[in-house]
A and B are shown apart, each in its own frame.
Chain A
Amino acid sequence: MLNDFVNQFWPATIDGLAFGSIYALIALGYTMVYGVLRLINFAHSEVFMIGTFGAMFVPFVLGINSALTGLALVGVIIAMILAGMLASAGTAIALERIAYRPLRKRGASRLAALISAIGASIFLQELFALLVIPEVFNRPQQGRIQMGLPRLMERTELFSIFGHSVRVDQVLVIVAAIGMMIALDALVNRTKIGRGIRATAQNPEAAVLMGVDINRIVRMTFFIGGGMAGVAGALYLISYENTNYYIGFLFGIKAFTAAVLGGIGNLRGALVGGVVLGLVENYGAIFFGSDWKHVISFTILVLVLMFRPTGILGESLQQARA
Chain B
Amino acid sequence: MNQKNSLAGIRHRLGQYGDTMHDRWLNTPGWQRWILYVALIVGALLLPSESIGGFMSPYTDWASILFFPIGTYVVLAIGLNVVVGQAGLLDLGFVAFYAVGGYAMALIGTRLGWNFWLILVVGIGICALSGITLGGPTLRLRGDYLAIVTLGFGEIIRITARNTDAIGGPNGIRGIPHPPSIDELNIFGVDVYELLGVKIFKYGVLDPRPYYYLLVALAVVAIILVKRWEKSRVGRAWAAIREDEDAAEVMGVPTFRFKMLAFAIGASIGGAMGVLWASKVISLNPNDFQFLLSATILAAVVMGGAGNLPGVMLGAFVVAWLPERFRGLQEYRMLIFGAVLVALMIFRPEGLLPSRQRKAELKEGTGGMGSLGAEVPGPESRGEEVASK
- Interface residues in chain A, defined as those with a beta carbon under 8 Å from any beta carbon in chain B: 34, 36-40, 98-100, 102-116, 118-127, 129-130, 200-201, 204-205, 208, 214-215, 217-218, 249, 253, 256-257, 260, 264, 291-292, 294-295, 298-299, 301-302, 305-306, 309
A118 and B141 form a contact (CB under 8 A):
no
Interface majority SS (helix, strand, loop, mixed), chain B: helix
In the assembled complex, the Cα of A217 lies from the Cα of B376 at a distance in Å of: 12
Closest CB in chain A relative to B156 CB, distance in Å = 5
Q: Which of A37, A124, A127, A253 contacts B373 (CB 8 A)?
A: A37
Stretch touching chain A among B71-79, B112-120, B336-344: B336-344
B152 and A257 form a contact (CB under 8 A):
yes
Number of residues on chain B facing chain A (CB within 8 A): 62
B376 and A208 form a contact (CB under 8 A):
yes
A111 and B376 form a contact (CB under 8 A):
no
In the assembled complex, the Cα of A37 lies from the Cα of B144 at a distance in Å of: 13
In the assembled complex, the Cα of A107 lies from the Cα of B156 at a distance in Å of: 35
A301 and B349 form a contact (CB under 8 A):
no
24 contacts between A and B (CB under 8 A): A37-B374, A40-B148, A103-B345, A105-B377, A109-B366, A109-B368, A109-B370, A110-B370, A111-B90, A111-B306, A115-B302, A118-B341, A122-B337, A130-B331, A253-B151, A257-B152, A260-B145, A291-B162, A295-B155, A295-B156, A298-B156, A301-B152, A305-B141, A309-B145
Q: Which of A108, A125, A204, A299 contacts B374 (CB 8 A)?
A: A204
Given A34-B144, A98-B342, A306-B137, A218:B374 Cβ within 8 A: yes
Closest CB in chain B relative to A298 CB, distance in Å = 3
Closest CB in chain A relative to B387 CB, distance in Å = 11
In the assembled complex, the Cα of A174 lies from the Cα of B153 at a distance in Å of: 30
Quick one: closest B residue to A38, CB to CB?
B373
Q: Which 8 pairs across A and B sit closest by C-beta, in order of nearness?
A: A119-B341, A123-B338, A122-B338, A108-B349, A298-B152, A126-B335, A112-B349, A116-B345
Quick one: closest B residue to A315, CB to CB?
B142
Q: Which of B145, B162, B341, B385 contacts A122 (CB 8 A)?
A: B341
Q: Which of B306, B344, B370, B374 contacts A217 (CB 8 A)?
A: B374
Q: Which residues of B contact A110 (CB under 8 A)?
A: 366, 369-372
Quick one: closest B residue to A303, CB to CB?
B137
Quick one: closest B residue to A127, CB to CB?
B335
Quick one: closest A residue to B92, CB to CB?
A114
Given A39-B372, A122-B337, A116:B342 Cβ within 8 A: yes
Closest CB in chain B relative to A80 CB, distance in Å = 27
B140, B149, B380, B385 pick with most chain A CB within 10 angstroms: B149
Q: Which of B144, B153, B163, B371 contacts A291 (CB 8 A)?
A: B163
Q: Which residues of A contact B163 (CB under 8 A)?
A: 291-292, 295
Q: Which residues of B contact A108 (CB under 8 A)?
A: 345, 349-350, 371-372
A122 and B373 form a contact (CB under 8 A):
no
Extra 12 A-B pairs, beta carbons < 8 Å, given A114-B147, A119-B345, A121-B338: A40-B148, A99-B346, A103-B349, A112-B349, A119-B299, A204-B373, A218-B374, A253-B155, A292-B163, A298-B149, A301-B152, A302-B153
B374 and A36 form a contact (CB under 8 A):
yes
Closest CB in chain B relative to A148 CB, distance in Å = 23
Q: Which residues of A contact B295 (CB under 8 A)?
A: 118, 122
In the assembled complex, the Cα of A264 lies from the Cα of B145 at a distance in Å of: 9
Q: Which residues of B contact A115 (CB under 8 A)?
A: 298-299, 302-303, 341, 345
